[in-house]
Amino acid sequence: MLQDRYGRRFRYLRLSVTDVCNFRCTYCLPSGYQAPAGAVPEGFLGAEEIAVIAAAFARLGTSKIRLTGGEPGLRADLPELIRICKQTEGINTVALTTNGYRLPKQIHDWHQAGLDRLNVSIDSLDRQEFASITGHDKLPTILDGLDQALSLGMQDIKINAVLLRDGYADRMQSFLSWLRDMPVTLRFIELMQTGDNSVFFRDQHLRGQEMLTMLVEQGWQETARAQDAGPARELWHPDYAGRIGFIMPYSSDFCASCNRLRVSALGRLHLCLFADQGHDIRSWCRDGDVEGLMQHLQDMIGDKGESHLLQQQHTGATRHFAMIGG
Ligand code: SAM
Ligand code: SF4
């Protein structure tokens, strides 16, 4: 079992499969994806390397893998990657975070490959606003894909929306009306500062706590959190089909419930989203050395810090989330 010196256990791996993204979200890649200067000699993790990572983490107690990016839907072999993770002994949940661009065309394949959980990022339900946040007029396509996922019977679908100051009140109202009949969990994520977005962050950051308090006043109730649950807080309301969650990394005890580790698409282990560096695990992946990787992961976990230092504007090596998967 992967456990750190603060007693936190890590059953959840966020595995990025590409840095590339086709969207230009204002808070993440406002100028679009730029390939790093100089060649990336080995490219992104291949299917066989991903099999090694999944096996090593699973043998150390990981039961859930989330595939993320960049935009994971841009990888043609995504169904194979889902299948590999799903067939790894010990992994019982394979999840995907996507911007939804390929959802209508791909969801059947992803589902058939064994995808258990789906998170789709939708920052606004207003078509124009959605296009101005993401750089793509794709809201109707994404909503169509979401309906298809629901009709496949997928459970516990989550919608990620980053909390942004401009236009916040109108967005909140339309999300609330939508949730009356939409059986999904809408998760508001506090905008986090990264190396590249500090000006945008200063302008747009909004705390979630005030909104959470307002919802409780309107009859929303907080669900009890399971032991080992991650840091999200979740609310339900008897008159709504949907739920609302909050991810508030700027709240004081956020890191106490951290249950996840991250591996970037270049094969670097990140002990925290805002760590100063990633640790290269590529050689074990390349050699197919599951036991060697397990030993290395156990050695590395001791270096995990107690908390991020976001309150002090310390964003570590993370220039934007597309390079690590959020
Ligand atoms: N491209 C996919 C997507 O957007 O769903 C997966 C990768 S994206 C980096 C994962 C999540 O991180 C998305 O829900 C996105 O909204 C969120 N995100 C990106 N940058 C963020 C930031 N600076 N603060 C908070 N959330 C952010
Ligand atoms: Fe792409 Fe996701 Fe970043 Fe938006 S948040 S630019 S969709 S990686």
Alpha carbon of 135 to ligand 2 centroid (Å): 10
Best mutation site among 25, 26, 28 for ligand 1, i.e. most ligand atoms within 8 A of its Cβ? 28
What are the φ and ψ backbone dihedral angles of 49, each rounded to 5 degrees?
Answer: -65, -40
Domain that holds residue 240: 12-323
In a domain, 5, yes or no: no
Cβ(85) to ligand 2 under 6 A?
no
Q: Which ligand is nearest to the CA of 197?
A: 1
In a domain, 230, yes or no: yes
Alpha carbon of 101 to ligand 1 centroid (Å): 14
Q: What is the pLDDT of residue 154?
A: 97
Alpha carbon of 160 to ligand 2 centroid (Å): 11
In a domain, 148, yes or no: yes
In a domain, 4, yes or no: no
Alpha carbon of 67 to ligand 1 centroid (Å): 13
Cβ(322) to ligand 2 under 6 A?
yes
In a domain, 6, yes or no: no
In a domain, 2, yes or no: no
In a domain, 234, yes or no: yes
Number of domain units in the chain? 1
Best mutation site among 106, 120, 121 for ligand 1, i.e. most ligand atoms within 8 A of its Cβ? 121
CA distance 150 to 152: 5
CA distance 87 to 321: 28
Which atom of ligand 2 approaches the CA of 320 most closely?
3
Full-model pTM: 0.96
Q: What is the pLDDT of residue 39?
A: 60
In a domain, 7, yes or no: no
List the residue whose alpha carbon is closest to atom 11 of ligand 1. Answer: 326
Q: What is the pLDDT of residue 177?
A: 98
Best mutation site among 67, 97, 123 for ligand 1, i.e. most ligand atoms within 8 A of its Cβ? 97
CA-based nearest residue to 261, from 83, 46, 65, 92:
65
CA distance 18 to 322: 8
CA distance 135 to 214: 31
- Which CATH number do you get for residue 273? 3.20.20.70
Instruction: Tell me the mean pLDDT per 10 residues along the chain, length 326.
Output: 91 96 97 81 92 98 96 98 98 98 97 98 98 98 98 97 96 97 97 94 95 96 81 95 95 84 95 88 97 96 82 83 90
